Amino acid sequence: MIKLDRICEHTFFSLINENSVVVDFGCNEGKFAHTVIGRYGCKVFSAEPVPECAEQITRHPRLTLQQVAISGASGSLDIHVYPDRCASGFNRSPAEQAIRTIRAEAMTLAEFRRRCGIGRIALLKVDIEGAELDMFAAAADEEFSDIDQITVEFHDFFYPEMRPAVEAVKQRMRSLGFHMLPFSLDNTDVLFVNRRAAVNWQNRLWAGTVVKYGRGLERRLRQMIGRTATAPARSAGSSAPRRCGDA
């Protein structure tokens, strides 16, 4: 049975070795890249447009970093940087104000691969704060044929208007022969597995069971937490509600 791995809230099958190529879009400060290198000894090509984040990425002989944004077109892109150090080409809610806007070099998936000389990709990790839809839309169907797995954090939880487009991406990837495994309730951890990858139906069934019961457990825990929050316990002899962390 092929094991599932999870790094930085991205779940994927352990189909990676020292000869594999992993592409990390939205490298941030490099935690995913360095963890996957440490576990598998693979080569990683990363994209991170925010200078402060790129400067924090520890250099490694197996890591190639491009300080670029991934989008639907090559050129330049305005990136809004928020207090939590997330960066997006989209404005969040009016209540969240970007601390600054930077102009970054932008490129498509195809252009990134050409620049880095990338052939087959064992795993593509995508966490680019809403630009994933533009990336998918700009990529030709054949661009995905030699990618074994794609793990994506979609951002329709920030931008509900994106949900129809997110569903369209899922449908397109299915039509291209990818199996889809949603490891989250809100599209923040979605895995696409190429039917050409060495993942048989037993492994997909097992992973689907993990998804089914894992999501059920998550719902149960949320319900329990919700009940605890709305009906706090009272300590003996006191009318004050008991707070989390109280002795």
89-121 confidence digits (pLDDT tens): 444 444 456 667 889 999 999 999 999 999 999
- Residue at 245 is within a domain: no
For the chain, give the number of residues: 247
- Residue at 36 is within a domain: yes
Query: How many CB atoms within 10 Å of residue 220?
Result: 10
Residue 237 has pLDDT above 80, yes or no: no
pLDDT value at position 244?
29
- Residue at 209 is within a domain: no
Residue 20 — very low, low, confident or very high, per pLDDT cuts 50/70/90? very high
Alpha carbons 169 and 145: distance in angstroms, whole number: 15
pLDDT value at position 106?
96
Total number of domains in the chain: 1
Residue 88 — very low, low, confident or very high, per pLDDT cuts 50/70/90? very low
- Residue at 210 is within a domain: no
pLDDT value at position 236?
34
- Residue at 14 is within a domain: yes
- Residue at 224 is within a domain: no
Angle of CA points 147, 151, 154, to nearest 5°: 125
pTM for the full predicted model: 0.81
Residue 191 has pLDDT above 70, yes or no: yes
- Residue at 222 is within a domain: no
Higher pLDDT, 165 or 232: 165
Alpha carbons 115 and 118: distance in angstroms, whole number: 8
Q: What is the CATH number of the domain that holds 43?
A: 3.40.50
Query: How many CB atoms within 10 Å of residue 168?
Result: 13
Span of 98-102, 121-125, 199-203 with lowest mean pLDDT:
199-203
Domain of 43 in residue numbering reads as 4-90+97-199
pLDDT value at position 155?
92
- Residue at 37 is within a domain: yes
